[in-house]
Amino acid sequence: MSKFLSVLLILSLVFLSACNRGGSGEKVITIAVVSGVEGDALTQAAKDYEAQTGIKIKIAQFPYQSLFEKELIDLQSKTGAYDLVMMDDPWFPKFASLSNALTELTPLYQKKGLQGHDEDFVKTSLALCRHPYESGKLFALPYVGNSQLFFYRKDIFEKYNLKSPETWDDVLSAAKTISEKETMKGYVMRAASGNSAVADFMPIFWAYGAEMFDANGNPTINSGEGIAALKMMLELGKYSPSGYASFGADEVSNHLLQGTAAMSINWPAWISAFSDASKSKVIGKMEFTTMPGAKNQGKAEIGNWLIAIPQSAQNKDAAFDFLLWATDKQQMKLSATRGNPPTRTSLFKDEELLKKNPAYPVQLKSLETSRPRPRTPQWNEIENVFGIYLSKANSGELSAEDAMNKANEEVKKIVERGK
């Protein structure tokens, strides 16, 4: 943050603190946050901010799905229940497409004599905060820089002279070798209905050259490339632990931590657990790399957490001051020490953080080359339907062709309803 901005923030905080202290008329900033490491870091930041400024901050913490529902209701009804909302990036297109629901940030910057955000934010992260995607107005700032990584057992790969997986064919070949020669399974994945199955499938889907929609917004899930991608997922399932079709993130991570599976797609938040003796049986044995490719270069699914100010917020100026403070380099570094990947390029290269997070160079590369889920307001509904059919294919209930054809039909209905 520039010295000029720091001075402005300090002056505004002193003013707000003086105005807000004492009495029943005290202003309170209310923030809706998600349960878990992402929300815990923001909650701690809010406590630090309150201690430094005297400005009261109320935290409304909810589980993932409940948070989406609470925020959607508030934004639709404009009740002003929250001054700041923490949101998973695929929710943003829906929230931003609601009439006058989110506050554009550029005028708030200008009100402080600033042109806008600094250039330290990772471009793929900041693109998620604009509506329309990448080129539109800025309605949020990125707080947690999640993007998927590929996890694998480097000791097992070295044992059998296997190279770091560059393609999904490499992954399948390694999974087969490991499953045949070791007591562990070669691969493990999430295939539970809904978000779990979709999140693990999208990197394969994109690598095979498949797309969810054509240039006109028509579903193309059941393209030849899409079906081939699902067939690869089903092949990998042959070398995954029994019951994987119902697995979520915890089951996948536990198999890796206990040494009963050798490879998976996973999120950076799990990396620290592999060095925790109370959780891990594979300390020093895991390696992390970017997504394997196929027809196309491998790309991870981006999964950033964003912070926005509802248009109906009761204390917009105070909320914006906190937003600038929480996403400042110094505060985001503290968030990183609490387990959250940053969204600032400089922090991925910070020497102190690198000592504690040796996977940061890979994480930055993954984040910079990552792809968002389709930027449609209907994504939550689409993802749910798509995930149902992916899970059915992985459980053996449907063939790859039938699953993709049925998913395409259902997604087409959702798109039509939204017109």
Residues 6+ apart with CB under 8 A from 396: 245
The Cα–Cα gap between 281 and 384 comes to 34
Chain-centre distance for alpha carbon 50 = 27
Contact 361, 371 (CB under 8 A): no
Are residues 407 and 259 located together in one domain of the fold? Answer: yes
Residues 6+ apart with CB under 8 A from 45: 326, 331, 334, 335
DSSP helix/strand/coil, 301: strand
The Cα–Cα gap between 101 and 196 comes to 29
Which residue, among 299, 303, 264, 305, has the nearest Cα to 274 in the 3D structure? 264
The per-residue pLDDT for 336 is 95
Are residues 251 and 397 located together in one domain of the fold? Answer: yes
Are residues 309 and 296 located together in one domain of the fold? Answer: no
Are residues 309 and 274 located together in one domain of the fold? Answer: no
The per-residue pLDDT for 26 is 72
With tokens 């910079």, the residue in question is: 368
User: How does strand 149-153 pair with strand 286-289?
Assistant: antiparallel
Are residues 80 and 213 located together in one domain of the fold? Answer: no
**Residue 373 belongs to a domain:** no
Give 121's DSSP letter.
B
Residue 419 or residue 233, greater confidence? 233
**Residue 53 belongs to a domain:** yes
Tokens describing residue 278: 């109370």
Q: What is the CATH number of the domain that holds 61?
A: 3.40.190.10
Are residues 261 and 395 located together in one domain of the fold? Answer: yes
The per-residue pLDDT for 5 is 43
The per-residue pLDDT for 25 is 56
Ranges 23-37, 164-178, 236-250: which has the least confidence: 23-37
Domain that holds residue 73: 3-146+303-368
**Residues 139, 140, 141: CA angle, nearest 5 degrees:** 145
Which whole number is the average pLDDT over 64-92? 96
Of the residues 368, 394, 409, which one is the last residue of a structural domain? 368
Are residues 270 and 403 located together in one domain of the fold? Answer: yes
The per-residue pLDDT for 214 is 97
The Cα–Cα gap between 279 and 286 comes to 14
Are residues 172 and 275 located together in one domain of the fold? Answer: yes
Which whole number is the average pLDDT over 79-106? 97
Per-residue pLDDT tens digits for 142-201 = 999 999 999 999 999 999 999 999 999 999 999 999 999 999 999 999 999 999 999 999
Are residues 328 and 410 located together in one domain of the fold? Answer: no
- Dihedral, CA atoms, 266, 188, 165, 277, nearest 10 degrees? 60
Are residues 237 and 349 located together in one domain of the fold? Answer: no
Asked whether residue 10 carries a pLDDT value surpassing 70, the answer given is no
Asked whether residue 233 carries a pLDDT value surpassing 50, the answer given is yes
User: How does strand 149-153 pair with strand 305-308?
Assistant: unpaired
The Cα–Cα gap between 237 and 196 comes to 14
The Cα–Cα gap between 261 and 411 comes to 33
Are residues 297 and 313 located together in one domain of the fold? Answer: no
**Residues 94, 97, 102: CA angle, nearest 5 degrees:** 95
Number of domains in the chain: 2
| Cα atoms found within 13 Å of the Cα of residue 292, Cβ hemisphere only | 26
Are residues 194 and 318 located together in one domain of the fold? Answer: no
Asked whether residue 11 carries a pLDDT value surpassing 60, the answer given is no
**Residue 418 confidence class, pLDDT cut points 50, 70, 90:** confident
The Cα–Cα gap between 167 and 58 comes to 47
**Residue 119 belongs to a domain:** yes
Average pLDDT, the chain: 93
Asked whether residue 90 carries a pLDDT value surpassing 70, the answer given is yes
The per-residue pLDDT for 334 is 96
